Amino acid sequence: MVDDGRNSCATTTTNNLIGHLNLKRTHNKVVFNDGTAAGVLNNLKGCTRTMNLHEAD
């Protein structure tokens, strides 16, 4: 094989695929209305496990 200065087996990385785009992971916070079912369940998020264990007894 003739060496032309380029790698014949270049490894493709995420940076190569994305190119010049600078992607940052952002975490969006979802706020539910307390008057809806989703809002009530969201407020119970911290004690759901405790409730399940209590109901199993």
pLDDT at 36: 73
38 Cβ contact partners less than 8 Å away, ≥ 6 residues apart? 32
Q: Which residue has the higher pLDDT, 45 or 53?
A: 45
Task: List pLDDT tens digits, range 28-41.
Answer: 676 667 677 766 77
Q: Output the pTM of the full model.
A: 0.23
Contact indicator for 44, 54 with CB cutoff of 8 Å: no
